[in-house]
Amino acid sequence: MDFSLTPEIEDYRLRIRDFVDTRIIPLEADRGNYDEHDNIALDVLEEIRAEAKAAGLWALQMPVERGGQGLPIAGLAACYEEMNRSIFGPVCFNSAAPDDGNMIVLERIGTDAQKDRWLQPIVDGAVRSSFAMTEPAPGSGSDPSMMLTTAEKRGGSWVINGRKWFITGAGEARHFILVARTSDDSRKGLTAFLFDAEQPGWEIIRRVPIMGPEEHGGHCEIRFDGLEIPDDNRLLGVGDGLKVTQIRLGTARLTHCMRWTGMAKRALEECFDYVRERKAFGETLDRHEGVQWLLGEAAMQIEIGRLLTMRAAVKLDSGDFARKEVSMAKIVVSETLHKAVDTAIQLRGARGYSKDTPLEWMYRYARQARLVDGSSETHKMVLSRQLLDEGLDFWNWD
C-alpha cells in the first residue's frame, strides 16, 4: 500500500500549512478576533476567506468549474488535517461542517438546476447551510426510522410539519437540507428536501446552549408549521431520504476525522516546548518516563486514526461506500481527539486548563465528536452487524 501523496496534493498541503501558521494561528491568538460564541468573528472571517481564495486554497472539495480545487478525498485527508491545526482553520477555507458535507452531497446528487440554485452560493461563500435531521425524543436520533417530522404532498408541493433540534448553523444558514417522513415504509419512508430560510412556515424556537464553542449560527431547535416546498426542491426520489443521508454522512464523517486529526496534532504541539524546557525533580519533563509514555501513546493513537481515515478516503475515491472503514475511523479519531487534548492539558499543567492556550477550547469542543454524525456506540453496532455478516472477510485486503 502506497501512502505517498502526489506532488500536486503535497503542494496544497504545504501551502495550507504555511497559510495556517502565518495567517490563521496569529488571528486565533488574539481574543479580539473571537465572536461571543468563541468562534472567529464574522468580519475577521470574511477578510481571511478572501485571502484563502486569492491564494488558490478555497473549497478544495469542489470541482474546479464551480470555483473549487477538485481534490480527491484522499487529498482532502492530507489537507484538512493541516487546516485544523488552528481552531479557526477549516471555516477559513470553506471546509468546515456543516457546509462541507452539504456541498459534497449536493455536488454528488443534485440536478444541474439544483446545483446552480442551492450549491453554488455555498461554494462561493455567499451563504451558509444546515442539515436538519435530528429531532427531540421520541423522534429521530441515533435511529432515523423514528422520524416524526412529516412531508405531505399537496398538488405540486410538500407541506412540512414537525420539529428538529441541534441543527448546526441554523441561525445563520440560508440553504437547508431537510429530511422528513413521506410514508410509513420502513426502508423508503423518508425523503430529503431543500428549502430557503426566506420561506415562510418555519421558525427557530431557540439556539440550544452547549458545552463547547459554537459554529456560526449555533445549534438550533426549529419548528415547521406548514412550510411549503415545491417538488422541484426534492433531492433524489421520494423515499430516498435515508440514501441521501448515507451519501452525505459517509464523506462528512470522514472529513470530520481529517479535521479532528489536525486538532489532535495541534494539541500535542502545544506542549512540545513546555515539556522540553520545564524542569521538575531535577529533569526536564521530557526526560521523565511517565511523560514519554503519555506523549508516545497520544502520537501512536493519532497515527492509527489517520491511517484508518486515509484507508477510508482511498476506498471512497474508488467508488466504495467504505461503511465499515468510515465507522472505524469515526470511532477511533473522535476518541483520540478527546484523549490527545486531555494529555496535552495534563502536560501543560495549570496553564493547560486556562484560556492562555487553545487547549481548554479544544477540550470543550472535543466532547461532541463522540456523539455527532453517529455516536461511537451506533458505529460499533454497525461494525458488529457487518462482522457477523461477513465473518473473516470483514478483514479483507481488497
Ligand X SMILES: Cc1cc2nc3c(=O)[nH]c(=O)nc-3n(C[C@H](O)[C@H](O)[C@H](O)COP(=O)(O)OP(=O)(O)OC[C@H]3O[C@@H](n4cnc5c(N)ncnc54)[C@H](O)[C@@H]3O)c2cc1C
Stretch that binds ligand X, among 53-61, 102-110, 116-124, 372-380 (CB under 6 A): 372-380
Cα four-point dihedral sign 386, 184, 145, 110 = positive
CB 69, min distance to ligand X, A = 25
Residue closer to ligand X (CB basis): 98 or 352: 98
The interface with ligand X within residues 133-152 (CB under 6 A) comprises: 133-134, 141-142
- Residue 320 identity: D
- Here the cell at position 340 is 490527545
Residue closer to ligand X (CB basis): 181 or 219: 219
- Here the cell at position 232 is 422541484
Residue closer to ligand X (CB basis): 19 or 166: 166
Residue closer to ligand X (CB basis): 381 or 387: 381
Residue closer to ligand X (CB basis): 134 or 309: 134
DSSP secondary structure letters along 201-249: SEEEEEE---SS---TT-EEEEEEEEEEEEGGGEESSTT-HHHHHHHHH
Q: What are phi and psi of 233, to 5 degrees?
A: -95, 25
CB 141, min distance to ligand X, A = 2
Residue closer to ligand X (CB basis): 283 or 377: 377
Q: How many CB atoms lie within 10 A of CB 109?
A: 17
Residue closer to ligand X (CB basis): 85 or 330: 330
Residue closer to ligand X (CB basis): 145 or 354: 145
CB 134, min distance to ligand X, A = 3
Residue closer to ligand X (CB basis): 166 or 274: 166
- Here the cell at position 314 is 482511498
The answer to whether 245 contacts ligand X (rule: CB under 6 A) is: no
The answer to whether 246 contacts ligand X (rule: CB under 6 A) is: no
Stretch that binds ligand X, among 67-75, 275-283, 327-335, 373-381 (CB under 6 A): 373-381
Q: What are phi and psi of 157, to 5 degrees?
A: -130, 170
The answer to whether 202 contacts ligand X (rule: CB under 6 A) is: no
CB 118, min distance to ligand X, A = 17
DSSP secondary structure letters along 287-336: GSHHHHHHHHHHHHHHHHHHHHHHHHHHHHHTT---HHHHHHHHHHHHHH
The DSSP call for residue 126 is: S
Q: Which of 269, 377, 390, 394 binds ligand X (CB under 6 A)?
A: 377
| Unique residue bearing C-alpha cell 504545504 | 14
The answer to whether 18 contacts ligand X (rule: CB under 6 A) is: no
Q: Which of 109, 307, 371, 387 binds ligand X (CB under 6 A)?
A: 371
CB 377, min distance to ligand X, A = 3
Distance of alpha carbon 54 from alpha carbon 379, whole angstroms: 39
86 strand-pairing partners: none
The answer to whether 84 contacts ligand X (rule: CB under 6 A) is: no
CB 293, min distance to ligand X, A = 30
Taking a C-beta distance cutoff of 8 angstroms, is the pair 184, 199 a contact? Answer: no
Taking a C-beta distance cutoff of 8 angstroms, is the pair 348, 359 a contact? Answer: yes
Residue closer to ligand X (CB basis): 89 or 98: 98
The answer to whether 224 contacts ligand X (rule: CB under 6 A) is: no
Q: Which residue is nearest to ligand X (CB)?
A: 141
CB 13, min distance to ligand X, A = 28
Q: Which of 13, 219, 253, 348 binds ligand X (CB under 6 A)?
A: 219
CB 40, min distance to ligand X, A = 17
* SS3 label, residue 163: strand
Distance of alpha carbon 83 from alpha carbon 85, whole angstroms: 6
Distance of alpha carbon 158 from alpha carbon 304, whole angstroms: 46
The answer to whether 261 contacts ligand X (rule: CB under 6 A) is: no
73 CB-near residues (< 8 Å, 6+ apart): 251, 254, 313, 314, 316, 317
Taking a C-beta distance cutoff of 8 angstroms, is the pair 163, 180 a contact? Answer: no
The answer to whether 189 contacts ligand X (rule: CB under 6 A) is: no
Residues making contact with ligand X (CB under 6 A) = 98, 131-134, 141-142, 166-168, 210, 219, 368, 371-372, 375, 377-378, 381
